[in-house]
Chain A
Amino acid sequence: MKRIVTLLALGAIVFAQAASAQTLKTVKDRGTLNCGANGSLAGFGLPDAQGKWTGLDVDVCRAIAAALFNDASKVKFVPLSAKDRFTALQSGEVDVLVRNTTWTSSRDSSLGLSFTGVDYYDGQGFMVRKSLKVNSALELNGASVCVQQGTTTELNLADFFRAHNMQLKSVTFATANEAVKSYDTGRCDAYTTDASGLYAERLRLANSNDHIILPEIISKEPLGPVVRQGDDQWFTVVKWVLFAMLNAEELNITSKNIDEMMKSTNPDVKRFVGTEGNYGEQIGLTKDWAVRIIKLVGNYGESFETNVGQGSPLKIDRGLNKLWNKGGIQYAPPIR
């Protein structure tokens, strides 16, 4: 009799409705942010030898944690492959996915997920051996290309070769690691992924100087954080954390001068640091939400330089990722 009652109770739980979307409350109660990250891409999401995670995407997650808990270390990073990243977010295993994921219309609609912004404007490129004496991607007719499965990279590769009437032999692997390794052994002539990834992976090859990255960028790859649909408040929080980092760079607020900036009389800066208005509380955070982010993590420019820019082994030029008033297209709406 007892067993039957237990069975029926379990059955009732099965049919219980999922709790309505309250990610912000859940994360605050839990005390840590569960962040889906790459785990093996230098410059974006990579744990170092001591287990500390670094990267541009990692900094976005740490910024969210800083805004919520005033402690940028209250993040649990979950390394995800290209195959299971969306399922992990859909199922609730992670609260936000910041894993160099390209923003596309099908991903914005049919997955039940929403992109909150773009933390890196990227594009797909090719890497080949210098010894092939290839100077342009248009000379790759008949080449075999190593690629990671389940990515927009795979689709763009097929499109590019088809559009230029070139023969393609693609070799797909489950993870980027295997694809790069096979490219290194000579199984394929070229390796393709987002240009930022090419710079990162080139460092890991046996002889970085033997490889060049071809100049063609064959696609638009706006990489950004992703959250579940149906939770507007959490969507707003994640969106504005990134915008805060961009606005800080625009206002020349850095982690070094944030303390002096607290006393500034500039109205934009006052609204940013919270001495005027209650914009933080309107979002669902605290008054000093933006100060926490900049003090504990830094602004967008600092994060870029340390992780992928001149202060890192990748040395990627800011390019499109410069601010809108400096020649790039990073543009954040104002905090007011």
Chain B
Amino acid sequence: MYRYIISRILLVFPTLAGAATLVFVLMRLVPGDICLVRLGEGGSSFTTQALALCHAEIGIDRPWIVQYLKFLWDLARLDFGISMWSGKPVILEIATRFPISLEVAVMATIIAVAIAIPLGTISALRQNSWIDLVVRTFSIAGLATPAFWLGIVSILVVLDLTQAISGHPWMPPIDYVPLWQDPIRNLSIVMLPALTIGYRYAAVSMRMTRSAMLEVLREDYIRTARAKGLINRIVINRHALKNALLPVVTVIGIEFAFLIGGLVVTEQVFNLNGIGRLMVLSVQNQDYTLTQALVMLTVTIAVLSNLVVDLLYAWLDPRIRLA
């Protein structure tokens, strides 16, 4: 098993290198480049000299292989370079926007877990009752709604409701303040997006909790505990929930990595200055260094999550553990 663990961990590096290569090549296959966007976006004309000057300034006139090797070398030293669009270090660009994305993601997870585990459990305990049906409908509806549509509708509902009630339409502020600076304002900005993402996230987790609980509840040792006369509540808390939680936690862990991707659409809708919006922007601007860094960030989070899950399962599955 230790061989497995070590080889699994070592494989992270070629995986990341593969992802780096993929993003490098993909970005350069797209026609055009950041200089065209920068010079041509305003609709004005530009001369070939201007374009050449821009290329030289940014460094995209060098041969691909040179750029690629520099990219890998810098990556190994954790030097993420300068954003081609703004000329500022990539780390700075990302660091400025990371807090808000993280906050939304964490809040969405909290909301999701707070909804999913109790509701999923109740749903499993009262399988096929009307509660079960309502919860299941609620969760399937959550999976069926396009995330951006939900966001748009929620903003409009809030605007219309506040206008109807107080005469003044209300919308969350569009400029971000950190939590410690002004908690009320910060929460008012983050609440709607967190609920929008959290709803879908809860839907997935709820279904998983329900099916995991159902499986566990049928296990013999639960029947035994019940037969022994243990009160239902103790049975559930002590035995069933604990064992059901393992796959649930796994799913939550994996979904968290995909949450970052889901932020892309949500941050557009709510105009949040986060990582998702930065990614859309860097891709539209064809800002190679920034896009590469963002992709590596996302991929690393996902790869590490998968690593943790795989190791967890290796530990649990005796076939692998004893190999």
B partners with A: no
Residues of B at the A interface (CB closer than 8 Å) are none
